[in-house]
Structure 1
Amino acid sequence: MSPGWSIARRLFLAHAIFIVVLAAFVGTASFVDARDRGYTETADRMLAVATAIADNPLVLEASHAANPSDALQPYALDVAADADLDFITIMHPDRTRWTHPTASEIGQDYIGSIGPALSGEPFTEVSTGTLGPSVRAVVPVVDEQGTVRALVAVGVTTSNLSIALAARLPAVLGLAMGLLAAGSVATWLLGRYLRRVTLGWGPEQLAQMFVYLDSVLHSVREGLVLVDHRGELVLYNDQAARLLGIPPRSPDPAAAPVLPDLDLPASLAELLRSGRVARDEIHPTGSRVLVVSQQPALASAAGRGKPAAMGSVATIRDHTDLQALGSELQSMRTLSDALRAQTHEHSNRLHVLVSLMELGRISEAVEFATGDLELSRQLTDEMINAVDEPVIGALLMGKTAQAHELGISLTVAASGSLSESGLSVQDLVTVLGNLVDNALDAAASGEAPRSVDLVVRAMPDSVVIEVSDSGAGVPAEAESAVLRPGFSTKDPGSYGRGLGLALVRQTVARLGGILVIGRRDGAVFAVTLPARPHPPASPAANLTGAPHA
């Protein structure tokens, strides 16, 4: 077979050869069986006719006559014609023929075996005589004393028997051809099915593609998951197992896990189960931020026909670190916006100072500049004294400026030392930044007066962060949904919404903390994170910041 042949073509050829050989074998066996049964049936009939002739008293009486042929020859010819026999030979025990279809053979010796008949035992045989090969039966004619007085040989030539067997040949050939036709149809249907499921590829191509696919699965740094239409994970690589927190792939296909048995986030499980098209969807898990893209796996036999969906292929990328950097970048943007706002305010104040000085009101200009400087210093000192972690202090200063622009009163109350809690700055920025951003959005959409209160308490064994706002609050029926990725009560933004609180929940769960949603005037989000004390690198201030409006 050619190496380029598909599995379907190879199987079709092998199956076709098998069917032809089987049909020939069955046809030959049927013909041989029919031939053997034809010989047996003919021999039984010859024996019955010979026995009937031997039992006829005419034959025993004629055997005592001086010329038995006178009485037996006409009788033998009549019986042979009536029974459709080729010959009836009645002979003396010494083989001398008394009857024969050919008159010149009368008186000649019989050609064939007579030994068993001389002993009184009828028998049948296939032998060659004056008429050619024949199936014959030889029966003794005995008197009352048991003496063999004559022998009767009855037979038909094999040429006549072959003609009779040839009448059965159409049935035998019909059986063989029917078997061949049925087998050919079954082979064609099987080949068509295999051509469809193997896409017309040969075993060498399939083996090569399997090796390539297995190499790709182990070499790519992204997670790769293949899901069929029944929700079973047909194939996934080691990176996908690590990102999804599922057992490594087993070499046994029967051990492939199914989606309902895996501990996956509801949104990610729904995406994989649906098979829908997805592009760079964000799905937070317990400890990671995953970006998932998914496309249906389409196939058509040899590239022909309408493509049929066989499942879906999903690629998974780990954006946990990137998301952390994004949170820090967002904090920097907040600070940048605050600096821009302060620059705008500073420009206005400079214009006031210049105008006062141009008007000659030097004392009023000095008083205005001194008051503005004192207010800025007071704000900075309050933020620095409230939180001993510089990055968090900078974040809160930016949020304060942002709140001022939105017309919201942001109050910060802090106690304890965050730097001694052992918690990473990135995690604190994620929790504080997203909670405050969410509170500012909620307060901005509410009625005046608008306010956000932030309380940070760093204790020896834990850090408690509580953020409350004057917004509409979170409905009781939405408390569980509000932490789901993609859930938001606001209109979609340029990059989508509903991820901030999901990231907070993920960070809290990863750190072994507790997140509680409550209600006061508006929503209250309380986070408790277990502390991870470590020897401080430098003395830490333990100051309590005064509230700032």
Structure 2
Amino acid sequence: MSRWWPRSLAGQAIALQVVVVAIVVLAGTALALLDARRDGDAAARQQVVGIATALADSPSTAAAIQSGTATEVLQPMTEAVRKATDIAFITIMAPDGTRFTHTDPSQIGGHYLGTVEPALRGETFSEVYTGTLGPSVRAVAPVHGRDGRIVGLVSAGITQQTLAQRWRAQIPVIAAVTVGALAVSSIGVWAIRRRLLRQTRGLRPDELRVMYDHHDAILHSVSEGLIVLDRDGVAVINDEARRLLGVPPGPVRQADLPDFLRSRDPGVRDEVHVTDDRVLVVNRSGVTGGQERSGRGIDSDSEVVTIRDRTELQGALGELSSMQVLADSLRAQAHESANKLHTVITLVEMGRPEDAVRFATEDLALSQQLVDRLSQAVREPALVALLLGKTAQADERGIALTITEDTQLPTDTVLSGQEMVTVVGNLIDNAMDACDRDDPWVEVTVSQDDGGLLIRVADSGPGMDASTFEKAMQRGYSTKPGDTSGHGLGLALVAQVVRRHGGAIRADVTYGSVVTVTLPI
């Protein structure tokens, strides 16, 4: 059996359909033939009952029987009726069964073969009985005289051979319908086979099962988020994508996805998006020829989206950036210190030691004073390092960076060291980029009390209106002239931290361009 039984899913499905269709059509044909025979028998019974009743109720029949001229009067009439109705016989008889008429004249005067008792009781009935013409369906009706007595009986019948010929005449029609049904079914089965072959690519059921198991295992085990979008919404989403996007279990609609995934944008590579909790790298590609390339029927309007998590990497990069700024500042200061040391040595050699001491201690006192003040006021080492590094960096760029006397930060802060570096570092970088080049200055205040954490960064720039500030807090927006890289993440990362802690961020223009972040305790 395994030799001829199809191996592909399409072949097996079609073979089963052919078997089912053949059984259904043949069973329907048999039922149609049986129904035709049953309907023929029922119609025959109705016909003979009607003829027998009509003749029995005719006044001329009773009159002929009572006058003694039954054969002469009724034989021609019954034969005419028999031929007109195409039945086998019409027999009119006396109550004792003596025939007055018969299809075969030689049988006239003989005794009727069949049941007459119900008719003698005044009932009209039908039965199947074998008489002189063979098995027949016959009906017997009583003939009543004027006084109500039964003066005779009328029997009409159709042979079963005639009935068989009648319903067999319907066999060609039934056979034609059967052949037509098989033809239409075959065309439908062939069309289904073509579609199944195209959809399953001729794979066997076990191969499809293995493919699905592998697909499901890969889908849920990959470390990247994977989403397949089609014209109806979300076709596929794996566990990692649900985790990164915060999507609950169950069916996912496109409206449940973040805004940046609701529109079609195939071809995007390594696009960074900031959500409330994460920094995500997104790649998108369209599916071409999906009907041929996949057995799942994903069409050419589909789009495959992969998502990678860069949250921890972005935080580490922020800390690394602050450390790099501090290292660059220390390197620059080392170079400057070398120049100052040469100046001090030269003054000593010139016999001017007092001038050498005064020159060496002036800048050192200012730098040490800033370090001492920040170390005492700010208990977060990462923030101290960041502020010192940004101060040196601003000095190199010719920007006056001031850390106000209001800067006070206890040990137990609202933000972690990494989050503090992200918020303050990005705000200072934006301020140094945006300040007025004719009068460059930046002012920083970081303080925390019972009311919450306050971070304020002001600069001499023109500031931003509300709509521009909203855009600046979105991924890819930059206010730098000529910056089209689409990687402006500074304010977006700040806004992410602020939203995560239930805080607020606003921008206004007062004594300068001021950005204020407030976070509750």
TM-score normalised to the size of structure 2?
0.77
My pick for the range that moved more, 468-477 or 102-111, is 102-111
How far 1:437 moved relative to its partner? Answer: 0.8
How far 1:501 moved relative to its partner? Answer: 1.2
Query: Given the superposition, is the C-alpha separation of residues 209 and 136 from structure 1 closer, same or farther in structure 2, using an over 3 Å criterion?
Result: same
**Offset from partner CA, 1:488-522 (integer Å, 9 cap, x none):** 11257696432111112222333444433121354
Residue 258 (structure 2) aligns with: 269
Residue 541 (structure 1) aligns with: none
Partner Cα distance (2:62, 2:384) in 1: 140
Equivalent residues in 2 for 1:150-299, closer than 5 Å: 150-169=152-171, 215-216=217-218, 219-225=221-227, 229-231=231-233, 235-237=237-239, 239-246=240-247, 248-250=248-250, 256=251, 258=253, 260=255, 269-277=258-266, 278-295=268-285, 299=290
Residue 516 (structure 2) aligns with: 526
Equivalent residues in 2 for 1:262-411, closer than 5 Å: 269-277=258-266, 278-295=268-285, 299-300=290-291, 303=294, 308-309=299-300, 312-342=303-333, 362-363=349-350, 373-374=360-361, 376-378=363-365, 380-388=367-375, 390-411=381-402
**In the alignment, structure 1 residue 59 sits paired with structure 2 residue 64:** yes
Q: What amino acid is aligned across from residue 244 of structure 1 in structure 2?
A: L
Q: How many residues align?
A: 509
How far 1:127 moved relative to its partner? Answer: 2.1
**In the alignment, structure 1 residue 474 sits paired with structure 2 residue 464:** yes
How far 1:441 moved relative to its partner? Answer: 0.9
Q: What amino acid is aligned across from residue 425 of structure 1 in structure 2?
A: G
Residue 412 (structure 1) aligns with: 403
Q: What amino acid is aligned across from residue 397 of structure 2 in structure 1?
A: L
**In the alignment, structure 1 residue 449 sits paired with structure 2 residue 439:** yes
| Cα RMSD, aligned residues only | 4.6
Q: Contact between 2:340 and 2:360, CA under 8 Å: does it hold in 1? A: no
Partner Cα distance (1:29, 1:368) in 2: 130
Query: Given the superposition, is the C-alpha separation of residues 55 and 94 from structure 1 closer, same or farther in structure 2, using an over 3 Å criterion?
Result: same
Query: Given the superposition, is the C-alpha separation of residues 475 and 79 from structure 1 closer, same or farther in structure 2, using an over 3 Å criterion?
Result: closer
Query: Given the superposition, is the C-alpha separation of residues 174 and 307 from structure 1 closer, same or farther in structure 2, using an over 3 Å criterion?
Result: same
**In the alignment, structure 1 residue 37 sits paired with structure 2 residue 42:** yes
Query: Given the superposition, is the C-alpha separation of residues 372 and 495 from structure 1 closer, same or farther in structure 2, using an over 3 Å criterion?
Result: farther
How far 1:412 moved relative to its partner? Answer: 2.7
**In the alignment, structure 1 residue 435 sits paired with structure 2 residue 427:** yes
**In the alignment, structure 1 residue 483 sits paired with structure 2 residue 473:** yes
SS of corresponding position for 2:45 = helix
TM-score normalised to the size of structure 1?
0.74
SS of corresponding position for 1:527 = strand
How far 1:16 moved relative to its partner? Answer: 3.1
Query: Given the superposition, is the C-alpha separation of residues 283 and 141 from structure 1 closer, same or farther in structure 2, using an over 3 Å criterion?
Result: closer
Q: Contact between 2:230 and 2:298, CA under 8 Å: does it hold in 1? A: no
Partner Cα distance (1:303, 1:420) in 2: 58
How far 1:438 moved relative to its partner? Answer: 0.6
Partner Cα distance (2:451, 2:62) in 1: 131
Gaps of 5+ in 2: none
My pick for the range that moved more, 461-470 or 176-185, is 176-185
Q: What amino acid is aligned across from residue 41 of structure 1 in structure 2?
A: Q
SS of corresponding position for 1:488 = coil
Gaps of 5+ in 1: 251-255, 263-267, 532-549
Residue 90 (structure 2) aligns with: 88
Residue 16 (structure 1) aligns with: 21
Equivalent position to 2:487, from 497, 507, 512: 497
**Offset from partner CA, 1:188-215 (integer Å, 9 cap, x none):** 7888888888888887777666665665
Q: Contact between 1:55 and 1:141, CA under 8 Å: does it hold in 2? A: no
Q: What amino acid is aligned across from residue 363 of structure 1 in structure 2?
A: M
Q: Contact between 1:380 and 1:397, CA under 8 Å: does it hold in 2? A: no
